[in-house]
Amino acid sequence: EQQRAALDAISPVDLLHKRGTDISGYPKIQEEVREAVLYELDKSELRQLRNKKPQHLKIRLDDTNGESFLLELFKAEFISENFKLRLASQPDNAVEFQPGLHYRGIVNGETRSLAMLYLSPDEVGGVVEFRGQQYNLGKVKGETGLHIFYATEAMISPPAYDCHTEAQEINRPDKPQEGEARSPNPNNCLKIYVEVDYDIFVDQGGVLPAANYAAFLFSQVSTLYANESINLVATEFFVWDVEDPY
C-alpha cells in the first residue's frame, strides 16, 4: 500500500522522447527487427535522476501500435554493499565503479505484469512483460542518445532457448492473487560472483562499459528471481580485459 501511494503521488518522467516508428533510415536496426519505436534520450533528465536516485519512478512507453505502457517502478538493490570490480590484468586491485540505478515494478497497474529499468550514465535499458508479450528497451549501438523499444516477436532471428536438463516435476508456490504483489524475502539472499569475458570487454569498448553491460543483464536476472521471492545480489564483477581461457 505504501508503494502504491508513493507511485500515485508522482508524475511520469520525460526521460525518453518518442521519435516515431520509421526505421527505414537504419539498416542495422532493420537487420534485427521488423518494427520498433525509436526514442531520443534526454541526457539532462537522466543526470538528474542519477543524482537524485528517487525511490519511485514512472515512465511511459508506446509500442508500434500506439498502445501506451505506464511503467510503475520502485528502486531495488542488486549490488551488495561490499561489491568489487576487478580486472584480469590486475586482479589484486579493485576498480572504482558506480553501477547504474535499478528499478522494477509493474505495467499499467496490472500485478501480473513485470517491468525493469536500468539507468547507466549515458543510456537506459529495460524489459517489459505485459499480457503475454515481452518488450525490450535499449540504446542503438553507434547512435548517440538513440534508443529502441520493440517486441521480442518482432525480432527477425529471435533467440533460441534450449534446456538440456531433464524435466522434473517441481512444486511451485501458489502465484499471488490478483491485487497482491510478490516481494523478495530479505532472508532469502543469494550472493553471486560474475565473470565478464574478453569478447564483451572488446565489444562494449572498455572496462566500465562492459561492467555496466553486465550490471544491466544481472539486473534483469535479479528481477526474475525477485518475482519468485529470492533476493539476488552481485558481490563482484571480474572483467577479462586480456584474453580469457574460455
Q: In 3D, which of 128, 73, 129, 71 has the Cα closest to residue 101?
A: 73
The dihedral region occupied by 117, where left means phi > 0, alpha psi between -120 and 50, and beta the remainder, is beta
Owner of C-alpha cell 508500434: 64
The dihedral region occupied by 159, where left means phi > 0, alpha psi between -120 and 50, and beta the remainder, is beta
What residues have CB less than 8 Å from 196, skipping those under 6 apart?
210, 211, 213, 214, 237, 238, 239, 240
Residue 174: pLDDT band by 50, 70, 90 thresholds?
Answer: very low
Q: pLDDT of 139-158, one tens digit each?
A: 999 899 999 999 999 999 87
Q: pLDDT of 93-112, one tens digit each?
A: 999 998 999 999 999 999 89
Question: Distance (Å, rounded) from C-alpha 108 to C-alpha 77?
Answer: 23
Question: Distance (Å, rounded) from C-alpha 234 to C-alpha 80?
Answer: 6
Question: Distance (Å, rounded) from C-alpha 55 to C-alpha 161?
Answer: 34
Strand partners for 35: none
